[in-house]
Amino acid sequence: MGTCSSLRRNNRREFSAALVLDPFLLLLLLFFFQLVFFSQRSLADNSASLNVTKYRQVSSLRLARIERHLKKINKPAVYTIESPDGDIIDCVHKRKQPALDHPLLKNHKIQRVPPEMPKAKMMKTDGVRDTNTSSSGTRGRAWQYWHHSGQRCPKGTVPIRRSSVNDVLRAKSLYDFGKKQRKMSLARQADAPDVVSGNGHEHAIAYTGTSQEVYGAKATINVWDPTIEVVNEFSLSQIWVLSGSFDGSDLNSIEAGWQVSPELYGDSRPRLFTYWTSDAYQATGCYNLLCSGFVQTNSRIAIGAAISPISLANANQYDITILIWKDPKLGNWWMGFGDNTLVGYWPTELFTHLADRATMVEWGGEVVNSRPNGEHTSTQMGSGHFADEGFGKASYFRNLEVVDSDNSLSSAQAISTLAENSNCYNIKSSNNNEWGTHFYYGGPGRNSLCY
């Protein structure tokens, strides 16, 4: 025992002496401990409901690659705003935004003349709406959480949510950061594009026929904060504007709505998001401004920022209005938010089929079911309540409209609905004078009938 104890003491003395005598070894060890400490802290989740902390050793080479990528998408800021929820919003000069790095947009001039809004009887909507009963009224202008700081981006700049090393490390890889996972199979029901059963994505959607000529779509969606069971799952509610072959590799899709994605954002807040692809999610496109493409023009709406306030069961219902339509003059696909607020546009150069028109629109919810522990996920869709529970509990899309070739809005007619597993998530559509074509949708995921 005495010999072993003496050896341990001697080894400690020799190790200490080595550190004193070899500064290089000391620096090497300090660097290693910093990497371990950084990798553990960088993956810490801001969400109270999920623990996304993972242990991952980050090599200096990988860290350097990540930082080079972030330098490309985090443009120099004219002004920076710290949001109360922890987001950093950079106010970037509009001509320096990431969109213009796209090789197809080298000679693109930002559209200065506002597009012609689709003609329709517009309900008064102003950002986030407060719906207490069947009637609606505007409640303030706190459209997003970062507005609570009381600061705004200067004129001539656009607000961009800053991406961090933490965000990239939560993704499967640097290549996958900001992208939807490629579907394993594009086989689908012939009448319901972008709905692929068996690949972990489940939907509750309404959709138009495939033979229409569509130039845009609109809906008002109430906003919730559904529970997400595991980090790599998400829950979203959105509009899809689609064209191309749904069983091939040339599907064009423009998407916008709200989503909860702990992997993408590091928390469980519902956030305004956009997405686009021109090759069925293979290589083109991304969420928000995480790659070049979408041109932002608005200085008050930050894509990817948290929406506030949100709906509560049997209490105030808050909703957002999303409009996507093709400018009849220049051909760019614009996004509107609330009451005639232009957010920005997807240049027509990005697309093949959508350079002409869309052939289908979808509205509804989507979740990822990774079957944690071999059971159906308990990740909620919408509010987590089934459609049958109605107003105040179930999520809704109301006033579904489409834009025609005359740039006119009309109520969506003859829509179809689909839910792959109605024991987990379902949908129920209806029509009336106030809400036009509308539907309730959602569900809790795993339950006694969904397993």
Decide if 251 contacts 244 (C-beta within 8 A).
yes
Report how far apart, in Å, the C-alpha atoms of 354 and of each of 133, 171, 207 are: 38, 29, 17
Neighbour count for residue 196 (Cβ, 10 Å): 20
Q: Just list the catalytic residues.
A: 255, 366
Peptide linkage before 309 cis (omega within 30 of 0): yes
DSSP 261-302: -HHHHSS---EEEEEEESSTTSSS--BTTSSS--EE--SS--
Please tell me the distance from the alpha carbon of residue 378 to that of residue 373, in angstroms, as a whole number.
11
Question: Which residues make beta-bridge pairs with 409?
Answer: 403
DSSP 437-450: EEEEEEB-SSBTTB
Ramachandran assignment for 233, one of left (phi > 0), alpha (psi -120 to 50 degrees), beta (any other): beta
Decide if 402 contacts 214 (C-beta within 8 A).
yes
SS percent in the chain: helix, strand, coil, step 5: 20, 30, 50
- Between strands 157-161 and 409-411, the pairing is unpaired
